[in-house]
Amino acid sequence: MSTIKVHDKTFDIYLSEETIQQRVKELAAQINTDYAGKRPLFIAILNGSFMFAADLFKQLTVEAEICFIKLASYKGMKSSGNVVTSIGLEDDLFGKDVIIVEDIVDTGKTLHNFLPKLGHQQPRSLKIATLLHKSEATVFPLHPDYVGFDIPNKFVVGYGLDYDGLGRNLKEIYQVI
C-alpha cells in the first residue's frame, strides 16, 4: 500500500523495505571494514532504533556487543526539547569502541546533549550510526559517521519510528503528506 493513515495523518510511501534493507547491508559492510580486528559496542537508543539496530547487528561479521538505552525527547510530532534518560547505561565504556545507533537525527539535540555523558567514560572511540538524517533541520551541530539516508525535514513513520505510539511495525518508511 502506498498511502497509509496513522491516527489523524496520511502518509505516503517514502522508502521501500528493499531500499532500507539494501542500505542497512551497505552500512554494515562499511562498519565491518572499519572495525576489522576490533570489538565495537553498539549502544542503540530506544524506542525508535530497535528495528534498525537488529537488522544492522545481524549483518555484522566483526565481533560486536550491543546494549539498549532509552532517552525521550519527542512527543507527538514536535520535539519536547527535554532529554530524559529512563533506562541507564550499565556497560563500562572505558577504552571501548562505541557506536551509537539512532533511528533519526533531526535537530541533533538528543545526541548533542547525550554524547558528553558518554565521553566522560573515556571510550577509545565514539561514532554515530543513524538510519535517517534530516541534515537541513540541524540546530545542534553533529556529524553522524554512518548515515542511511539524508531526508527532507518532513515527519516520517515506520521501521521503528512512531507517530504517537503507532506505525513502528511498518516494514517501510512513510512521509507525512
Q: Compute the Cα dihedral for 35, 41, 43, 49 and give only its sign.
A: positive
Nearer to ligand 5GP, 32 or 155 (CB): 155
Query: Is residue 55 annotated as a catalytic residue, yes or no?
Result: no
Q: What residues contact residue 86 under an 8 Å CB cut-off, 6+ apart?
A: 70, 71, 72
Task: Order across the sheet with 3-6: list the strands.
Answer: 3-6, 9-15, 173-176, 156-157
Binders in 36-65 for ligand 5GP, by CB under 6 A: 48
Q: Output the smallest distance, CB 92 to ligand 5GP, in A.
A: 25
Binders in 100-129 for ligand 5GP, by CB under 6 A: 102-110
Q: Is 135 in the site for ligand 5GP (CB under 6 A)?
A: no
- The owner of cell 557506536 is 99
Q: Select from 99, 101, 157, 170 the one that contacts ligand 5GP (CB under 6 A).
A: 157
- Taking the C-alpha atoms of residue 47 and residue 101, their distance in angstroms, rounded to an integer, is 11
Interacting residue ranges for ligand 5GP, rule: CB under 6 A: 48, 73-74, 79, 102-110, 155-157, 161-163
